[in-house]
Structure 1
Amino acid sequence: MSELEFISGPHRVDDPHPDLPQALADLLGRATVAGGATGFTATTELDTITAAARRIVDDLSQRPKPRHVLTAGQERTLAGAVVLRPGKLPVQRHRGEIEWLLVDPELQGQGLEQQLLDAAAVQARALGLTQLSLSTRSGQGLEDFYADRGWVERGRWPGSLHVSENDHRDQVWFTLDL
């Protein structure tokens, strides 16, 4: 029996629960420490990660929403989340960016990543978006993960991400037509 059978979601977050900022920070921290491509390093201070999560959740109360969050939970723990940011400028309003795709490291590879991406695509279509973009870092097999799901690599910046003192990775951009 898969652990995913006990996961609720993905759910669109319209009215954030007061515990969501901390739950998102905890998930972001777990993914970061496990080596996830979160934009943070394993040595990033917890206060910095918590502040980033709080900014994401605070955006959910603005109208129009500058970001949309979809979550999946397991008991009282956030198992996964995806953050979608629609384009702001008039020439970008047809597209959105997946800012974060986060899955608890213990649940990775069981399909939750795909469920969250699918939910983000549904939400993007509901917002009238026709394209999605995201960026990730090389060296983790993520290029194949996204390519296998129809995302098209549009470019890379060699060595632009400094994961640690001696670990420099490419930043890789992908798009998906909806």
Structure 2
Amino acid sequence: MSTSSTSSGRGTSPAAPLRTRVVPPSGGPGSAEDPALREDLLRTWVDVSEAGGSVGFVPPVDPAAVAVALDGTLARVREGRDVLVVLEEAEDGVERLRAVGMGVLLAGSTPITAHWRTVVRLMVAPHLQGRGAGRRLLAAVHAAARDLGLEQLSLTVRDGQGLQPFYERAGYVVVGRHPGALRVGPGDDRDEVRLVVRF
């Protein structure tokens, strides 16, 4: 989840409506097979990373590297393994809604962990920071988890980004810390903090 307040300067109205939805694995426009959705998510992921969001990359960001990660994510969604929730925004002069955020429920690999999943890649576009978009997206991820019958979710945050209080307000509790797990630059190692919410 990015904490940046940088504006993307895309000219979207501050009052533009937002909606969330679970992305179907297949089926044409709006599905995990949709090239337009991929383009939106790639733009969002790069923008969030460039603004300093802790979503797997640090500035300066190589869009090709982000594309590889995104394509892997979309492949797992198309295969029915993971669940992708997107946040969409109306854009002036554009008929379709544009994806400006996402979160993924990553499937476990064994039956004994089938009652919970890991939340990864939770992010909203920088221009939406401070407008409640992150809370709305996280609530939609939680709703998708409940629809799957899950009992708990786990996620990790990069220490020093101010993200822990955001998740704690949503019911998450810290269950562990990996000191120095994330090397975001030379001489800049950060702890990875693991949080869990139970339904």
Kept in 1: contact 2:44–2:125 (CA 8 A): yes
Q: Which residue of 1 aligns with 2:164?
A: 143
- Structure 1 position 101 matched with structure 2 position 122: yes
Per-residue deviation, 1:165:
1.1
Q: Distance in 2 between matches of 1:29 and 1:79?
A: 11
Per-residue deviation, 1:73:
1.9
Counterpart residue type for residue 90 of structure 1: P
**Which structure would you say has the larger RCO, counting Cα contacts within 8 Å and 6 or more residues apart?**
2
- Structure 1 position 52 matched with structure 2 position 73: no
Per-residue deviation, 1:43:
3.0
Per-residue deviation, 1:170:
0.8
Q: Which residue of 2 aligns with 1:71?
A: 86
The 5 A counterparts of 1:10-25 are 10-14=20-24, 15-16=31-32, 17-25=34-42
Q: Distance in 1 between matches of 2:59 and 2:177?
A: 23
Q: Which residue of 2 aligns with 1:114?
A: 135
Q: Distance in 1 between matches of 2:78 and 2:165?
A: 35
Matched residue of 1:136: which SS? strand
Per-residue deviation, 1:118:
0.7
Task: State, as a whole percentage, how many aligned pairs show the same letter.
Answer: 32
Kept in 2: contact 1:7–1:79 (CA 8 A): no
Q: Distance in 1 between matches of 2:183 and 2:196?
A: 23
Aligned length: 174
Q: Which residue of 2 aligns with 1:29?
A: 46
Question: TM-score by structure 1 length?
Answer: 0.91
Q: Greater strand share, 1 or 2?
A: 1
Unaligned runs of 5+ in 1: none
Q: Which residue of 1 aligns with 2:108?
A: 87
- Structure 1 position 160 matched with structure 2 position 177: no
Q: Distance in 2 between matches of 1:100 and 1:83?
A: 6
Of residues 93-102 and 159-168 in structure 1, the stretch that sits farther from structure 2 once superposed is 159-168
Per-residue deviation, 1:66:
1.4
Q: Distance in 1 between matches of 2:82 and 2:17?
A: 23
Unaligned runs of 5+ in 2: 1-12, 25-30, 92-96
Task: Say what the alpha-carbon RMSD is for the aligned residues.
Answer: 1.6
Q: Distance in 2 between matches of 1:58 and 1:22?
A: 15
